[in-house]
Structure 1
Amino acid sequence: MAKHHGHSHGHAGEHGHNHDLAPEDGSRNERRLLFAAALTTCTMLAEVIGGVISGSLALLADAGHMLTDSAALILAWMAMRFARRPADWKRTFGFGRFEVLAAFSNGLALFFISAMIFYEALHRMYEPVEVLGMPMLIIAGIGLAVNAITFLVLHQGGGANLNVRAALLHVISDLLGSVAAILAAIIILYTGWTPIDPILSVVITLLIVRSAWLITKESGHILLQGAPDSIDVREVSQDLVANVPNVQSVHHVHAWSLSENRHVMTLHALTCASVPPEQISAAIRERLKQAFGVVHATIEIEHSDCADVVGAKSCAKV
């Protein structure tokens, strides 16, 4: 039998224009992010003023966290707008990765602000400063209310987007940070024990680090072309052989993501049947879309030996 190597470049959806969310949902999420950014910025300014007046590191720590949150929300909003831009000849997959870059940058910023807060907290443990409990309590209470509103606004987005989920992580940490600041203010008002302020600041820092780790881990995995969590490439070959007629074996499987929910795959498929390669590749693409959520697949159909791998399973000659 003569060798036949077909190359099928297939799409499950329009290339460069398939997005995680419908346009209407994407626009609503953009508005939610912008509204949340405005609320967070105003609260951050109030906490900076309150922290300076009261001398509270917990308030300043939460304000520092909210500064990164505000920048993160604005960056997420910009990323969502950029991601809607169509693909061009230079960026053939479009701008979806901008959202991933934004999330990764937000995570790195959280690590940086955590280190600053932790250093200042250690310094204040050794050299305590006076903290005014009542101004601290008032500002922290306002911060808690605004953070609760922001959380409800973003939570309505459903968390279907990496940037929205990253923003929710920021806001949840802010909520807990405000609770910590309120607790510190109450303790200072009733006991005068000011070390509780830097101690709870360290607690806030740990919350920030946790958020930073979750965001950078997920976005970094995408940037490193890691296989999506929903796809085990070891199972792809078995699944296609079992569910796509005329497919004898599958190899050279590579899977990655353009953005959080836009999965891409390339593979070689060996078939012994005299079925047109276009028909087999279409069936493979449909199975990849249904079983693994792959929106873009490049498939090489082989009717004999693999051109790239010696020893790949060959067809039995008849």
Structure 2
Amino acid sequence: MASADHAHGHDSQDHDHPHSHDHSHGLGGHAHGANENRTFWAAALTLGFMIVELTGGLVAGSLALIADAAHMLTDSVSLAFAWYAFRLARRPADAERSYGFDRMQIVAAYTNGVAMILIVAWIFAEAIARLYAPEHVDARTMLWIAVAGLGANIVAFFILHGADRGNLNIRGALLHVMGDLLGSLAAIAAAIVIMATGWMPIDPILSGLVGLLLLASAVRLVKQAGHILLEGAPAHLSARTIADDIVGAFEEVENVHHIHLWALTNERPMLTFHARLRDGPATENTVSRIKERLKARFGIDHATIEVERGNCADNEAPCA
């Protein structure tokens, strides 16, 4: 798809003037900077407590704590990837990547969702194995480590909760932190039950329930990120609605066809289409006026419009 805003025909104001686009998104750049900083600190906090939990698990001989430490290691790597995606997205566009690196955020979100699905599969397998052969757990040590982990996870959660939760990369990072938080709650509950009753199966049962909650969120994230990677139309926009709106708003536009609607990220919808003008004198500034309407009504600030009269340039037939 074309990567520069231009229009062919008498209505293009940019016809003979080379131009470039600023992908910094104005105030949006500040939001991306805040998202980047918050993701960094969440990753650092998760990695730091992973070391504490691993040490506690080895001292207590608790396989549950060691397994959760491995989970937190995976999460810290995922958070670091999310942070790097934000840093990479700040790079300017170049000749090989005319849209820049913004899409890396969606790749990170998709990867984090897939990683969480794999983690949940491991949790289920481990829970089933422990139901058949329960492991002995030092419940008291497990409780203290889990309480400390809950505190660390709450801090990480609120760090990310203050970021832009409409951003899929942030939602992917939040999913991993939520997994750690729920895991700590499950470990606390399991430790209390084991201390009170000695019933070891409670640990894998609660882990499996947490896995079910995480699985639903992970699948939703993968579907949303995958939709964007496949150039699907944003859920809140309709190509047909946009085409009808333009034809209804501009008397000189006879029809809109070859319309393609997709998104670079969930925050940046993109649009290309052909606009056939009616016979008659050329109307000045039609392209500029259409773009202004697209931005005001639909939030689309990057549209490529090809203006035509007569046959469609792509198929040499009358425009439908």
Identity of aligned residues (%): 48
Could you say which structure has the greater relative contact order, defined with CA pairs below 8 angstroms and 6 or more residues apart?
1
The aligned counterpart of 2:3 is: none
Q: How far is the alpha carbon of 1:108 from its aligned partner?
A: 1.5
Q: How far is the alpha carbon of 1:278 from its aligned partner?
A: 6.5
Structure 2 counterpart of 1:118, one-letter code: F
Q: How far is the alpha carbon of 1:216 from its aligned partner?
A: 1.3
Mapping for residues 243-262 of structure 1, pairs under 5 Å: 243-262=249-268
Alignment pair present for 1:116 and 2:109: no
Distance 2:279 2:286 in 1: 10
What does the per-residue CA deviation read over 1:83-140, in whole Å, with 9 as the maximum and x for residues that have no partner?
1111111111111111111111111211222222211111111111111111111111
Alignment pair present for 1:137 and 2:143: yes
The aligned counterpart of 1:100 is: 106
Distance 2:77 2:190 in 1: 27
Q: Secondary structure at the match of 1:294?
A: coil
Structure 1 counterpart of 2:296, one-letter code: Q
Contact 2:186 2:210 in 1 (8 A): yes
Change (3 A) 1:203 1:20: farther
Structure 1 counterpart of 2:218, one-letter code: A
Residue number among 161, 169, 174 corresponding to 2:167 in the alignment: 161
- Aligned residues between the structures: 307
Deviates more, 1:46-55 or 1:140-149: 46-55
Mapping for residues 277-292 of structure 1, pairs under 5 Å: 279-292=285-298
Distance 1:58 1:291 in 2: 53
Alignment pair present for 1:31 and 2:42: no
Distance 2:25 2:64 in 1: 40
Residue number among 48, 69, 74 corresponding to 1:42 in the alignment: 48
Deviates more, 1:167-176 or 1:50-59: 50-59
Alignment pair present for 1:312 and 2:310: no
Contact 1:65 1:208 in 2 (8 A): no
Structure 2 counterpart of 1:205, one-letter code: G
Alignment pair present for 1:207 and 2:213: yes
The aligned counterpart of 1:316 is: none
What does the per-residue CA deviation read over 1:133-178, in whole Å, with 9 as the maximum and x for residues that have no partner?
1111111101111111111111122324221222222222322221
Distance 2:27 2:124 in 1: 38
Q: Secondary structure at the match of 1:110?
A: helix
Q: Secondary structure at the match of 2:301?
A: strand
Distance 1:130 1:140 in 2: 16
Distance 1:233 1:120 in 2: 47
Contact 2:187 2:203 in 1 (8 A): yes
Q: Secondary structure at the match of 2:97?
A: coil
The aligned counterpart of 2:190 is: 184
Deviates more, 1:152-161 or 1:269-278: 269-278
Distance 1:254 1:73 in 2: 33
The aligned counterpart of 2:230 is: 224
Deviates more, 1:299-308 or 1:250-259: 299-308
Q: Which sections of structure 2, spanning at least 5 residues, go unmatched? A: 1-7
What does the per-residue CA deviation read over 1:53-97, in whole Å, with 9 as the maximum and x for residues that have no partner?
445555445434322321121111111111111111111111111
Normalised to the residue count of structure 2, the TM-score between the two structures is: 0.87
Distance 1:163 1:98 in 2: 9
Contact 1:244 1:287 in 2 (8 A): no
What does the per-residue CA deviation read over 1:186-218, in whole Å, with 9 as the maximum and x for residues that have no partner?
000000000001111112222332232122111
Change (3 A) 1:152 1:279: same
Distance 2:32 2:165 in 1: 12
Contact 1:277 1:301 in 2 (8 A): no
Contact 1:266 1:298 in 2 (8 A): yes
Contact 1:61 1:117 in 2 (8 A): no
